[in-house]
Amino acid sequence: MQIRNDLTAAAIQPKIDKLWQLSAEKINLISREYDNSKGTPVFTVNGKYTLRGWTEWTQGFQYGAEVLQFDATNETAFLESARKNTVGNMASHVSHFGVHDHGFNNVSTYGNLLRLMNEGRIPENEWERNFYEIALKVSGSVQAKRWTATKDGQGFIHSFNGPHSLFVDTIRSVRALMVSHLLGHSLMGENDVKTSLLERGTLHSIATAKYSVYYGASRDSYDLWGRTAHESVFNTNDGNYRCPNSQQGFSGFTTWTRGLAWAMAGFAEQLETLPLFSDEELAPLGGRAEIESIYLKAAQATCDFFIENTASDGIPYWDTGAPQLYRLGDYTSRSSDPYNEFEPVDSSAAAIGAQGLLRLGKYLNDKNRSEEGNRYWQAGLTALNTLFDEPYLSTDPNHQGLILHSIYHRPNGWDNIPAGQKIPNGESSMWGDYHAREVALYLHRINKGLPYYAYTASVK
């Protein structure tokens, strides 16, 4: 990436304003045209949202988008729709024991609504508050139940692949445990044994930093500073780590850039949560300084890798080891090309990763580490300056997606290849659209001097 140091957050505000205008149109278009009885919309085919995937992991993004739209524009119709849809459709996600996606589904809906009440944006109502809080409490404990112990005496929240599988994605979903803990909840087990959700969330984050992120320490032949493995595989009989793997990337020894982006955003957010926990709570987990060091190293490493391996305008290709990527030559020195003939970009990785860059940049600037902080902050602005404009911002009034050129599952061939094209392009995803809105709201609030956007603001 060629970081633009001339950009300011304020300079991007006109693009953010246009994004919210288009976002409203897209939400209304989906509401009119999509048949929710078919299941949750996941990604578009020829501009229309369709259902496809392993689990219902995107519904929280669908209705969470309505909350974010209200947050940014004060258009009450979106708030009322979000409330109605959350009550009517999200209960199954709260009690879903079969997924690792609670932070995506439930913090994006119940959590965002509770945050607005805490901020005074919606009227205080005891029953409504209790409803959101009990959903978040239960969601965190259900998520924490998916636990695999490792040989080092720690463990992780395992993916829907089974108890052997640690997904890098889940670092962004661990927020469900943190919110539940901050609301005073615990995981209750046999004989009323109580397990701390802060403990499980922290240990999972440490395991992700240890096994999913590489640091150039010769762990294997492809060990580069900041690269990530989508999946880490363990022997569940003895808790030993076995190997890296990938479900949606090219291989376990290459870097799927959306997985990289989940780590960038997830570790930056976990750094931001640490001040909310006491020294006494953190001491048994290694102590504040040690935990902060682990999170910061993982955040900086992944953000560095993103910067080093992304096109000059801040949009990454879908995997840094994609087999035909070499045919693009020195792609990091040129602007991204979603219409090339060899490998697709992934705009959703840019949307997620940009938030990680901005949050890490702010975190370091607040620590008076301005040289490092400004680098990450400006990299985030560079990516958003591209993402919030054509050809990535969708201006076609008939296309249901907000951000174009998102990739879902390239190895499985799930992504649509338009007529006349050789690779997938021109389509959108629920997670890409949601995270574009989320990072837009993050910057929008900073520009307007509004309260800092953090998921922990859902806890009063």
Instruction: Please tell me the distance from the alpha carbon of residue 228 to that of residue 260, in angstroms, as a whole number.
Output: 6
Structure tokens at 222: 């492809």
Beta strands 165-167 and 155-157 are unpaired
Which residue stretches of 34-118 are H helix? 59-73, 76-89, 91-94, 102-105, 112-118
Nearest to 173 by CA among 116, 233, 96: 96
Q: What is the pLDDT of residue 47?
A: 97
pLDDT surpassing 80 at residue 54: no
| Cβ–Cβ under 8 Å, residues 375 and 3 | yes
> How many angstroms separate the Cα of 323 from the Cα of each of 272, 408, 456?
37, 17, 40
pLDDT digits (tens, 9 = 90+) for 318-374: 999 999 999 999 999 999 999 999 999 999 999 999 999 999 999 999 999 999 999
Q: What is the pLDDT of residue 281?
A: 97
SS3 of residue 166 by DSSP: strand
Beta strands 187-188 and 165-167 are unpaired
Q: What is the pLDDT of residue 416?
A: 97
Q: What is the pLDDT of residue 324?
A: 98
CATH architecture, range 9-141+177-191+258-458 = Alpha/alpha barrel (1.50)
Averaged confidence pLDDT in the chain: 97
Backbone angles phi, psi at 413, to 5 degrees: 70, 30
Nearest to 142 by CA among 182, 167, 173: 173
Structure tokens at 89: 């459709």
pLDDT surpassing 70 at residue 394: yes
| pLDDT tier for residue 39 given thresholds of 50, 70 and 90 | confident
pLDDT digits (tens, 9 = 90+) for 196-247: 999 999 999 999 999 999 999 999 999 999 999 999 999 999 999 999 999 9
| pLDDT tier for residue 53 given thresholds of 50, 70 and 90 | low
Instruction: Please tell me the distance from the alpha carbon of residue 280 to that of residue 199, in angstroms, as a whole number.
Output: 12
- Average pLDDT (395-424) is 97
pLDDT surpassing 70 at residue 428: yes
User: Which residues are CB-neighbours of 357 under 8 A, at least 6 positions away?
Assistant: 264, 303, 306, 307, 376, 377, 379, 380, 383
Nearest to 428 by CA among 2, 29, 17: 29
Question: Tokens 């600037």 correspond to what residue?
Answer: 365
